Chains A and B, each alone.
Chain A
Amino acid sequence: MRTAGGYRSRGLGKTIDWSLVICWLIMILIGWVNIYASVHSSEPSSIFDWNSRSGKQFVWMASALVIALIVLFAIPPRFYEGFSVPIYIFVTGLLVAVIFLGIEVKGSRSWFEFGPIRFQPAEVSKIATSLLLATYMSQLGYRIGRMKDFIITALLILLPMGIIVMQSETGSALVYVGFIFMLYREGLSGWLIFMIGMAILTFILTLTASPFAAILVLISVASLCICLYSGKFRWWLFLCVPLIILFAFLPQLMQMLVEKMVDAETIAAIADNVEGVEMPFIMKIEPLHVLLGATVLSLPFVAFQAFRERNTFTHLSIISCLAGIVLVFSTNFLFNDILQDHQRKRIEVLLGIKEDPTGVGYNVNQSMIAIGSGGLTGKGYLNGTQTTYGFVPEQSTDFIFCTIGEEWGFLGSAFVILLYVFLIWRIISDAERSREGFTRIYGYCVACCIFMHLFINIGMTIGLMPVIGIPLPFISYGGSSLWGFTAMLFIFIALDRNEKKYF
Chain B
Amino acid sequence: MKFNRKNKLLIGLCTAAAIIIIKLFCIQIIDDRYKMDAENNSMVYSIIYPTRGIIHDRNEKILVGNKVAYDLLVTPREVEEFDTLALSKVLDVTPEFIKGKMDDYRKNRRRIGWQSVIMIKQMPQETYMKFSEVEYKFPGFRGQARSIREYPFNAGGNLLGYVSEVDSRFIEKNPEYKVGDYAGKTGIEAAREKELRGEKGFNIMLRDSRNKIMSRYQDGERDKEAVPGNDITTTIDAELQHYGQMLMNNKVGSLVAIEPSTGEILAMVSSPGIDVDMLANIGQHYGEIASNPYKPMFNRAVQAPYPPGSVFKLVNGLIGLQEKVVSPNTYYPCRMGYHFGKNKLGCHAHKSPINFEESIMMSCNAYYCYILRDLLENRKYGSIGEAMDKWKEYVQSFGFGQKLGSDFPSELGGFIPDSKYYNRVYGKGGWKATTVISLSIGQGEIGCTPLHLANLCATIANRGFYYIPHIIKDSEHVSIDPKYKERHYTMVDTTHFPKVIGGMYRAVNSGFGSGGTASIAAVKGLDICGKTGTAQNPHGHDHSVFICFAPKDDPKIAVAAYVENGGFGATWAAPIASLLTEMYLTGEISKERKYLEERILEGNLLDRVKVKGKK
Binding site for B on A (CB under 8 A): 41, 181, 184-185, 190, 368-376, 385-386, 388-389, 391, 405-406, 409-410, 413-414, 417-418, 420-421, 424-425, 428, 432, 451, 455, 458-459, 462-464
Contacts and interface: CB of A to CB of B under 8 A. Distances in A.
B17 interface: yes
Contact of A417 (B5, B10, B17): B17
B112 interface: no
Nearest to B40: A369
Interface in B1-32: 5-6, 8-10, 12-14, 16-17, 19-21, 23-25, 27-29, 31
Given A410-B25, A425-B13, A451-B13, A372 B20 contact: no
B35 interface: yes
Interface of B: 5-6, 8-10, 12-14, 16-17, 19-21, 23-25, 27-29, 31, 33-35, 37-39, 41-42, 209
A455 B29 contact: no
Nearest to A378: B28
Contacts of B25: 410
B28 A421 contact: no
Contacts of A458: 20
B41 A455 contact: no
A464 B28 contact: no
A284 to B, nearest CB: 36
B20 A455 contact: yes
B16 A455 contact: yes
B27 A184 contact: no
B411 to A, nearest CB: 31
Given A373-B37, A389-B41, A185 B9 contact: yes
A371 B209 CA distance: 18
A499 B17 CA distance: 30
29 contacts: A184-B5, A184-B9, A185-B6, A369-B34, A369-B37, A369-B38, A369-B41, A372-B31, A375-B28, A376-B28, A376-B29, A385-B38, A385-B41, A386-B41, A389-B209, A405-B28, A410-B24, A413-B28, A414-B21, A414-B24, A417-B17, A417-B24, A421-B13, A424-B13, A425-B13, A428-B13, A432-B6, A463-B23, A464-B23
Contacts of B41: 369, 385-386, 389, 391
Given A41-B209, A374-B28, A425-B13, A386 B38 contact: yes
A330 to B, nearest CB: 29
A424 B23 CA distance: 21
A373 B9 CA distance: 33
B410 to A, nearest CB: 30
A458 B28 CA distance: 14
A391 B113 CA distance: 10
Nearest to B32: A372
A378 to B, nearest CB: 9
A472 B8 CA distance: 25
A428 to B, nearest CB: 6
Given A185-B6, A391-B41, A459 B24 contact: no
Listed residue (B13, B23, B31) with the most chain A CB atoms within 10 angstroms of its CB: B13
A373 B38 contact: yes
A421 B17 contact: yes
A417 B10 CA distance: 15
A425 B16 contact: no
Given A421-B17, A464-B19, A410 B209 contact: no
B27 A428 contact: no
Given A368-B27, A413-B28, 5 more contacts: A372-B28, A389-B42, A410-B25, A421-B17, A462-B20
B13 A371 contact: no
A464 B20 contact: yes
A204 to B, nearest CB: 15
Q: Determine the main DSSP class of A at the interface with B.
A: helix
A185 B225 CA distance: 65
Contacts of A388: 209
A184 B6 CA distance: 9
A190 B4 CA distance: 12
A418 B21 CA distance: 9
A372 B35 contact: yes
A94 B558 CA distance: 96
B6 A428 contact: yes
Listed residue (A406, A418, A462, A463) with the most chain B CB atoms within 10 angstroms of its CB: A462
B126 to A, nearest CB: 39
A370 B24 CA distance: 12
A124 B340 CA distance: 106
A371 B21 contact: no
A369 B5 CA distance: 38
Contacts of A373: 34-35, 37-39
Contacts of B12: 181
A332 B35 CA distance: 37
A405 to B, nearest CB: 7
A502 to B, nearest CB: 24
A181 B31 CA distance: 34
B14 A421 contact: yes
Contacts of B13: 421, 424-425, 428, 451
A451 B16 contact: yes
Contacts of A432: 6
A319 B371 CA distance: 87
A405 B24 contact: yes
A454 to B, nearest CB: 8
A3 B220 CA distance: 74
Nearest to B16: A455
A385 B35 contact: no
Contacts of B20: 417, 455, 458-459, 462, 464
The 3 closest A-B pairs by CB, nearest first: A372-B34, A373-B38, A385-B42
A354 B12 CA distance: 31
B33 A372 contact: yes
Contacts of A372: 27-28, 31, 33-35, 37-38
Contacts of B37: 369, 372-373
Nearest to A410: B28
Nearest to A458: B20
A185 B8 CA distance: 9
A428 B28 contact: no
A432 to B, nearest CB: 5
A418 B17 CA distance: 8
A424 to B, nearest CB: 6
Contact of B24 (A184, A371, A386): A371
Listed residue (A385, A425, A463) with the most chain B CB atoms within 10 angstroms of its CB: A385
Contacts of B8: 190
Listed residue (B12, B21, B28) with the most chain A CB atoms within 10 angstroms of its CB: B28
B375 to A, nearest CB: 36
B323 to A, nearest CB: 38
Given A410-B24, A451-B16, A428 B10 contact: yes
A114 B34 CA distance: 42
Contact of B27 (A371, A414, A417): A371
A383 to B, nearest CB: 8
Contacts of A376: 28-29
B210 to A, nearest CB: 8
A371 B28 contact: yes
B38 A370 contact: yes
Contacts of A414: 21, 24
A388 B38 CA distance: 12
A386 B16 CA distance: 27
